[in-house]
Amino acid sequence: MNGWTGKTLIVDLTTGEITTDTLDMDIARDFIGGRGIGARLLWDLVGPEVEPLDPENVLIIATGPITGTGFQTSNRFSVSTKSPQTGTVLDANSGGYWGMRFKRTGYDLMIIKGRAEKPVYMEISPEKVEIKDASHLWGKTVSETSEALGQNKNKRNVLCIGPAGENLVRFAAIMNDVSRAAARGGPGAVMGSKNLKAIVCEGNERVEFEDKDRFRFVQYEATKMLKANPITSQALPEFGTAVMMNILNAISALPTRNFQETEFEHAEAISGEAMTEQILVKNDACWACPIACTRLTKTSNGKEGEGPEYETMWAFGAACGVSDIEAIAEAGYVCNDLGMDTISAGSTIACAMELTERGLLDSDLRFGRADLLVKAMEDTAYRRDLGDELAEGSARLAAKFGAPELSMSVKSLEMPAYDARGMQGQGLLFATSNRGGCHMRGNMLGAEVLGLPKLIDRFQVQGKASFVILHQNSAGVLDSLVACKFANIAVAEEYFARALTALTGINYPTGKLIQTGERIWNMERLYNIREGFGREHDTLPPRLLTEPAGGASKGWVSHLEPMLAEYYRGRGWDENGVPKPNKLEELRLIDLVGEGVLS
pLDDT tens digits, 248-305: 999 999 999 999 999 999 999 999 999 999 999 999 999 999 999 999 999 999 999 9
CA distance 113 to 308: 34
Mean predicted confidence (pLDDT) in 157-177: 98
CA distance 303 to 325: 13
| pLDDT tops 80 at residue 597 | no
Q: What is the pLDDT of residues 193-226, one digit of tens each?
A: 999 999 999 999 999 999 999 999 999 999 999 9
Domain 424-539+559-592 sits in CATH at 1.10.599.10
| pLDDT tops 90 at residue 349 | yes
- Evaluate whether 123 touches 156 at the Cβ level (below 8 Å): no
Q: What is the pLDDT of residue 414?
A: 98
Q: Which amino acid is at 577?
A: G
Q: What is the pLDDT of residue 596?
A: 63
Q: What is the pLDDT of residue 452?
A: 87
- Evaluate whether 501 touches 541 at the Cβ level (below 8 Å): no
User: What is the SS3 assignment for 272-318?
Assistant: HHHHHHHCEEEEECCCCCCCCCEEEEECCCCCEEECCCHHHHHHHCH
Q: What is the pLDDT of residue 594?
A: 72
pLDDT-derived band at 328, boundaries 50, 70, 90 = very high
Domain 7-202 sits in CATH at 3.60.9.10
Mean predicted confidence (pLDDT) in 342-349: 98
pLDDT-derived band at 519, boundaries 50, 70, 90 = very high
Q: What is the pLDDT of residues 462-488, one digit of tens each?
A: 999 999 999 999 999 999 999 999 999
Q: Is residue 157 helix, strand or coil?
A: strand
Mean predicted confidence (pLDDT) in 56-73: 97
H-only helix segments in 178-211: 187-193
| pLDDT tops 90 at residue 599 | no
Burial class (CB in 10 A: 0-12, 13-18, 19+), 360: middle
pTM value > 0.85: yes
Q: What is the pLDDT of residues 552-592, one digit of tens each?
A: 999 999 999 999 999 999 999 999 999 999 999 999 999 98
pLDDT-derived band at 593, boundaries 50, 70, 90 = confident
Mean predicted confidence (pLDDT) in 323-347: 98
Q: Which amino acid is at 320?
A: C
3-state helix, strand, coil in the chain (%, to 5): 45, 15, 45
**Annotated domain spans of the chain:** 7-202, 240-414, 424-539+559-592
Q: May I ask the CATH class of domain 240-414?
A: mainly alpha
Mean predicted confidence (pLDDT) in 318-338: 98
Q: What is the pLDDT of residue 167?
A: 98
Mean predicted confidence (pLDDT) in 75-97: 98
Average pLDDT, the chain: 97
Q: What is the pLDDT of residue 398?
A: 98
Mean predicted confidence (pLDDT) in 143-168: 97
pLDDT-derived band at 453, boundaries 50, 70, 90 = confident
Termini Cα distance of the chain: 41
The pLDDT > 70 percentage for the chain reads 99
Q: Is residue 203 helix, strand or coil?
A: coil
